[in-house]
Structure 1
Amino acid sequence: MIFQNRSRCRENKSIFRAGNQVLQHTHEYTYLGLKLSSTGNFNLAVNELKAKAMRVFYMIKNTIRHEIPIQTWLKILQAIIEPIALYGSEIWGPLKTQDFSKWKKEAIETLHTQICKSILKVNRATPNNSCRAELGQHPLLINIQKRAVKFYQHLKRSDPSSYQAEALRCQEQNRPRSTLSQLMLKLQPDQHSTIWPNQIIQLQKLNDITYWKDATKSQKKMELYLNLKRDYKPAEYLSCVKEHKVRKTLTRYRLSAHCLAVERGRHRQRWQPRERDCVCVCVCVCVCVCVCVCVCVCVCERERERVSECPLSGCRERTAPAEVAAERERLCVCVCVCVCVCVCVCVCVCVCV
């Protein structure tokens, strides 16, 4: 494999032989578990690591048949998933963007967000910032920077005559083109003072929290969450609430991932004008009143016919027969039922509006 920039014609004119056998050119090669590309980027390697970590996570999730605590899932994420996803990040990590606003679109961070949503059992439309904050998870960029700092310090402490020390010296001679050196200058501006990796990580976490607060203020969907969530740490109810159905419902309410009209209504494209809603209410009320009036008129007419057919109709003050009284009771029940139905329809229409 020949490392070169992508050109119009990728056919290599050079021929390499091992004895009498001609070696074939390849554009991809897996070395120590990382898939290398002839262009020199690690996008193929990162995508393959993402796929491996995703397969492992869902294999574990499908194997566990019962509900386990959220803290256990976070330990599985830290102890099993992250080492797979961040394999070799000491090399390819500095090549990625170091800005928190752009890092969220990277393949590894999308994996992290997807796993957090799966642990919380919320849908894909849930804001990424709220899912990570609910679990107290910082972006994986911070862990990558920690690995890169440790790797840089390891190279600095290595034998000066070793190949890795010589390679580091060559990179530092041309720092503008050395991503590792640029990362160290960003994380540790004062090269003369010794700053331990944990100190750098704590500083980066504070920077991430500052960015999180600024980013969430501009999201309307996060208004409720900002009133409930004040600290960037795992929510207390995740460990206190043992019933998983109740915890799932509470999580969806806090993260605005529920199906209530207050949340789903914001995504509706067509809203009826307020005047049209008022017209609908007025029409519904008028129809109900007309129905009630018609029923009352029918009852009165029926009662008049029944009295006129009665043999004692000549004297209206006398008591009607038993059939007339029973018919009157049935008609009264029908009128009451009709009125109740009309009132319920009016109330439902008003509530929907």
Structure 2
Amino acid sequence: MNFLYILNFFCYCMLMIQYYFLNLAMIYNVCWTNFQSICKQWKLKININKTKIMIFSKGRIPRNLLFNIDGNEIEIVSSYKYLGIVFSRSGSFLSTRKYLRDQAIKAMYAVIKKSRLNNLSIECQLDMFDKAIVPILTYGCEIWGFENLDILERVHLRFCKHILRLKKSTPNFMVYGELGRCPISVTVKSRMINFWCRLQEGKESKISCLLYKLLYVNFNNYGYDSKWILYIKKIFDDCGMSNIWQSHNLFEKRWVVLSVQQRLRDQFIQEWSTEMNTSPKGLCYRLYKNVFKFEHYLSVLPFNLLITLCKFRCGNNRLPIETGRWRNIPRSERLCHLCGSADIGDENHYIMSCNYFKDERCKYLPHYCIKNINVIKFKQVCSTQNIVELEKLCRFIKSISVKVYPPG
């Protein structure tokens, strides 16, 4: 049956040859004759309804081009879904990514519904996303992962912002930072490298190995620009591991995969830190967030309190520092209107120094934070691991929110 599979694959590949290079009619006749003999030998019946012709070309297809099997005309299509992957005549996998995105969104809202019914924790919801939705988003990514992945990452960020009850406009670096999560692209690149390693160790008779060797020879010797091979090489170059690409089989494959995965994660954390330290919205956030990890308060506080704290930390509030940004007011003019101190109305001011909340501050904050206030104490208050102090901080934040911007 392996021989049958190879012949069928050969016939399929021959039918995909671009029509302006070779005489398709002649190739089709040869392939069809061979295919008929194989079907007769193995007593196989062709399903005409599922048989399609797709010609890979970015140009137009002649209207008078016809294909027939036993007098039945075979439809020429511009795209075809095979085993969950949508192939397009242009060679782009955009349709595949859109299809996987749509399927993942359906699964995502099913997970959200079950999470609400069962009052699942943030950690549990993220675990369900990784096990139920990420496999959908990354299905077959070893092949199409070299293309733009933004359409998939938006699903990831939508889910993260939804479970934290954050606005869509919340900066992505805050979402990644609070949850300690890396983008989907890290997973995709790691899986591509893993697939590349398997191609190196696979049986030489496998079609995937044969095709890779053909691509690699053409890429190395004849200047053929394979997007997939170029992307694999780029991953190694970006990770500072170009020697692995050049030597191919001289390294242990498991070590290669783990090393690439770790370096991709480290690179993202560096990019995250750079964006946080250069973003205007990160001025307060970077005072209490300097370690890329899942925040402790998300796993110990009741849901209503952790949402209050998360929104406050991520700028989802109506303090003057935020409302002034919506109205394009210069930062220096976004002042507190409660205490008359001419200080900027940001998170640090209301938590640590606004005289209007002097009594609440004594009630909710530890005594060591009230005297000789400074940035270090503000960081201690916002990043404390003590559950009692966290709960009191959340109640203080609720009091601030009501009085700074009363409801209605």
Length-normalised TM-score, structure 1: 0.70
Identity percentage of aligned residues:
23
AA paired with 1:45? Answer: T
1:250 corresponds to which residue? 309
Give the corresponding residue for 1:283: none
Take 1:254 and 1:107, find their aligned partners in 2: how far apart are those partners? 27
Q: CA deviation at 1:197?
A: 0.6
Amino acid at match of 1:34: I
- Bigger RCO of structures 1 and 2 (CA < 8 A, at least 6 apart): 1
Higher Rg: 1
Which position in structure 2 is the counterpart of 1:67? 119
1:196 & 1:233 partners in 2: Cα distance?
Answer: 25
Measure the CA separation in 2 of the matches of 1:30 and 1:237: 45
8 Å CA contact 1:133–1:232 kept in 2: the answer is yes
Task: Decide whether aligned partners of structure 1 residues 265 and 10 sit closer, same or farther in structure 2, where only a CA change above 3 A counts.
Answer: farther
Aligned to 2:88: 37
Q: Which runs of 5+ in 2 are unaligned?
A: 1-52, 334-402, 404-408
3-state DSSP class of the match of 1:190? Answer: helix
Q: Structure 1's 23 and 62: CA in aligned 2 closer, same or farther, altered over 3 A?
A: same
Could you list the per-position Cα deviations for residues 256-285 of structure 1 after superposition, in whole angstroms to 9, with x for gaps in the alignment? Answer: 1112232122111479xx9xxxxxxxxxxx
In the other structure, the counterpart of 1:268 is: 327
Q: Matches of 2:118 and 2:308 in 1, distance apart?
A: 18
Q: 1:261 to 1:11 in 2, by over 3 A?
A: farther
Matched, 1:119 2:163: yes
Distance in 1 separating the partners of 2:155 and 2:86:
19
Distance, in Å, in 2 between the alignment partners of 1:3 and 1:237 is: 56
Residues of 1 paired with 2:328 and 2:180: CA distance? 34
User: Residue in 2 aligned with 1:79?
Assistant: 131
Q: Does the 8 A contact of 2:79 with 2:88 survive in 1?
A: yes
8 Å contact 2:56–2:90 — kept in the other structure? yes
Alignment of 1:210-221 (within 5 A): 210-221=270-281
Which among 166, 185, 196 is matched to residue 141 of structure 1? 185
Task: Please report the RMSD computed on the Cα atoms of aligned residues, expressed in angstroms.
Answer: 2.3
- Distance, in Å, in 2 between the alignment partners of 1:139 and 1:174 is 33
Q: How do residues 114-193 of structure 1 correspond to structure 2 at under 5 angstroms? A: 114-175=158-219, 177-186=225-234, 187=236, 188-191=241-244, 192=247, 193=250
Aligned mates of 2:79, 2:305 — CA distance in 1: 49
Q: Residue 74 of structure 1: CA displacement?
A: 1.2
Aligned length: 265
For the residues of structure 1 that align with 2:218 and 2:153, how far apart are their CA atoms? 30
Alignment partners' CA distance in 2, 1:135 and 1:13: 57
CA distance in 1, matches of 2:157, 2:62: 40
SS at match of 2:243: coil
CA contact (8 A) 1:238 1:247 kept: yes
Residue 22 of structure 1: aligned partner: 73
1:75 alignment partner AA: D
Amino acid at match of 1:262: I
Q: For residue 59 of structure 1, what is the amino acid of its counterpart? A: A
| Distance (Å, rounded) in 2 between the aligned partners of 1:15 and 1:58 | 44
Where does residue 147 of structure 2 map in the other structure? 96
- The answer on whether the counterparts of 2:80 and 2:88 sit within 8 Å (CA) in structure 1 is yes
Residue 260 of structure 2 corresponds to 200
Change (3 A) 1:146 1:12: farther
Q: Which amino acid aligns with 1:197?
A: V
Residue matched to 1:328 = none
The corresponding residue for 1:334 is none
User: Structure 1 residue 29: deviation in Å?
Assistant: 1.1
Q: Distance in 2 between matches of 1:62 and 1:138?
A: 24
Structure 1 regions of 5+ residues with no counterpart? Answer: 98-102, 275-347, 349-353
What is the Cα deviation at residue 182 of structure 1?
2.3
Deviation per CA, 1:13-47, whole angstroms, max 9, x where unpaired? 42111110111111121100112211111101101
**Which one-letter code corresponds to 1:266 in the other structure?**
R
Give the partner amino acid of 2:225: R
Residues in 2 aligned to 1:76 and 1:154: alpha-carbon distance in whole angstroms: 28
